[in-house]
Amino acid sequence: MLNKIYLLVLPILFLGFPILAVAGPETTVSLAPLKPMSASARTVINSYSLPPFQLLVTGDSELFLPNSAFNCQTPVMTNEPPSEPKIDGPDSPVVTFRDATGLIHLFVSGDFNFAFTGPTFESLTQDCNSVYLPHWNSDPLQFQYAEWLRAPYSIDGTHVYGIVHDEYHCATANPSLNSDCVYEALTQVNSTDGGYLFTDEAMPQRLVATIPYEVIPPSTTGVGDNSNIIQNPNDGYYYMEVIDHSNGVGPCMMRSSNLSVWYAWDGGSFSVLMNDPTAYNNSPSTYSCAPIFTYPFIGIGNIRFIPEYNLFLAVGDLTGSYYYVVSNDLVHWSAPVFLFSLNTFTSPGTWRAGQSLPVTYGDLIDVDSTTLNFDVINSGDSLYLYLVRTHTFINSEGVAALDNSNRDIIRYALTLSGSASPQPAAAPTFSLAGGTYNEPQTLALTCANSSSAIYYTANGSAPAPSPWLSILYAGPISVGRSQTIKAICVAANYGISPVSAAHFHIAYEKGALPSLGTVWSSWYPSEILDEFRTSLSSDTQSKDLRPPPAVSASASFAYPLIPVTPAVERQ
């Protein structure tokens, strides 16, 4: 009994409260006329298409807010758990809005949700009056334990709506328990004084999304880690990306017509309500969402709109590196395109001594945006990617370890490159020349530019700067059969390199099987891979395991949409 938390639900739980969210269609939103869509806006976006521009890094990182800028005295609360770590430091993505006076409010919330305010990004100072204090409520059904304001949204400069990421930590919420759980939920708050103080409502109005449980599992579950809120000018609805941690879904999308009731995408429509914590006896399809990415994105903390292309742009973490994607409807996204190399950024969970300091919580902001919420990119030349960087300390064993109390904010300047092509990176160099070999070979690829990533194909198709469309080079390639290798280099501050290519004919190849070491095997069921191995023993022809991509070509793209057929003969 002591190692489980039971959610005891009485039939009268919701009596006395108006039920805000009931199944049914959303409210229609009136829209102002839009300017005619560009050609790229009419292009179908899917996971086999590429953005119509390049997002480029234009310089080295710069320190934006040092750790010393986070200097507020953390308030002492009578109900706070003594064992819960509390810090005044960055622990969420950078989010911003303007109030009615034009003052910028910037949040990179720690445990107490202090804001930085100022007329410009260069003049921000920390305000030590918390805009929303955590409640440390030990009742899991109240969804008010450790709370981070992750998505403030300024409606008119005075009324500011917000989404709060809540985490219920079993071990500290009830010290008698020894349960390693983090139960996440999203709740909503409002401010009527320009964002200086946020208040919430009682249950059930407060809850936006979670996953219902009778017994909370000893792991990270629920719904949280949301993006910013953005209004789609093409339909008038408000959208935000959220992470469903419970059902193997990952990133999914929610939509609201009124910033009160949110519906989740179910793969065909926005029809799923996720705000009933008592629905654990129902089918998961009634309270869970559908993924919006067909590749393993960890999540996107930011979504911006680009009027020039009538497209949405997002930056996210994919297998330890940062990539960008575009969408024209916020549920169908392009292939991820490389932004930063794996050597530049190391995932905090896999950091080892001697590696670069890890960064997380990437957030893209146009500092010259003229909108209240900085959600529209007005200029491709005033973009910055803001990141939380964690420093290290020497622990008792004399080894460098991460110090979560010593974090700062860095940023990289970026630019959108459309018709003007930047100087391309140098083409990859092959360690072997193409030709005929009597036995399997090992091929190494290198790039001359620093902080480069290499993408290649092994079936003769054109490589693209995306691990979904091509293979991210991670080490020497085993060439065990006749095949054509094509590769490109992608580097910060450079355009995509010319393609290097070589055809290798292996004279003795009967029964030779290519290594599957670099295939993202998690994408393919084991029986598919077994079938693939069997077919290769007698058939040297390429065999595509994915459905044919539906891609529309567009001459207006800086580099064309690539109708790639990702062959399984990866090596």
Tens digits of per-residue pLDDT, 336-372?
888 876 434 454 555 666 777 888 889 999 999 999 9
List of E strands, 53-181: 54-57, 62-65, 95-98, 104-107, 115-118, 125-127, 146-154, 160-169
Per-residue pLDDT tens digits for 365-392: 999 999 999 999 988 889 999 999 988 8
The length of the chain, given as a count of residues? 571
Range name among 72-76, 445-449, 476-480, 522-526 with the lowest pLDDT average: 522-526
User: In angstroms, rounded to a whole number, what is the distance separating the alpha carbons of residues 407 and 423?
Assistant: 35
Q: What tokens appear for 493 in the block?
A: 């501050």
Mean pLDDT, rounded, of the chain: 79
> Cis omega (within 30 of 0) on the bond before 204?
yes
Burial class (CB in 10 A: 0-12, 13-18, 19+), 519: middle
By DSSP bridging, strand 263-265 and strand 270-273 are antiparallel
Q: Average pLDDT in the 124-135 region?
A: 94
Tokens 């805000």 locate to 20
Tokens 């979560």 locate to 404
Per-residue pLDDT tens digits for 536-555: 333 333 333 333 333 332 32
What integer pLDDT is reported at residue 9 of this predicted model?
Answer: 36
Q: What tokens appear for 74 in the block?
A: 């953390």
* CATH 2.60.40 domain extents, the chain: 429-536
pLDDT band (50, 70, 90) for residue 83:
low
Determine the CATH number of domain 52-417: 2.115.10
Half-sphere exposure of 411 (CA within 13 A, CB side): 19
Q: Average pLDDT in the 506-514 region?
A: 57
By DSSP bridging, strand 146-154 and strand 160-169 are antiparallel
- Candidates 2.60.40, 1.10.238, 1.10.20, 3.40.50; CATH matching 429-536: 2.60.40
Amino acid at 380: G
Task: Please tell me the pTM assigned to this model.
Answer: 0.79
Per-residue pLDDT tens digits for 199-213: 998 999 999 999 999
Phi (first) and psi of residue 532, to 5 degrees: -65, -45
User: In angstroms, rounded to a whole number, what is the distance separating the alpha carbons of residues 225 and 165?
Assistant: 6
Range name among 267-276, 495-504, 543-552 with the lowest pLDDT average: 543-552
Query: Closest Cα partner for 514 from 487, 488, 532?
Result: 532
User: In angstroms, rounded to a whole number, what is the distance separating the alpha carbons of residues 166 and 160?
Assistant: 19
Q: What tokens appear for 556 in the block?
A: 């207006």
User: In angstroms, rounded to a whole number, what is the distance separating the alpha carbons of residues 185 and 481?
Assistant: 51
Residue 475 pLDDT greater than 60, yes or no: yes
Residue 109 pLDDT greater than 50, yes or no: yes
Q: Over the Cα atoms of the chain, what is R_g?
A: 25
Range name among 1-15, 99-113, 252-266 with the lowest pLDDT average: 1-15
* CATH 2.115.10 domain extents, the chain: 52-417
pLDDT band (50, 70, 90) for residue 82:
low
List of E strands, 192-320: 199-200, 207-209, 220-224, 230-231, 238-244, 250-256, 263-265, 270-273, 297-300, 304-306, 311-318
The residue among 507 and 366 whose pLDDT is bigger is 366
Residue 253 pLDDT greater than 90, yes or no: yes
Residue 279 pLDDT greater than 70, yes or no: yes
What integer pLDDT is reported at residue 223 of this predicted model?
Answer: 96
Half-sphere exposure of 481 (CA within 13 A, CB side): 19
pLDDT band (50, 70, 90) for residue 14:
very low
The residue among 194 and 323 whose pLDDT is bigger is 194
Q: How far, CA to CA in Å, does 560 sit from each of 49, 333, 554, 555?
A: 9, 16, 6, 6
Other CB atoms closer than 10 Å to residue 402's CB: what's the count? 17
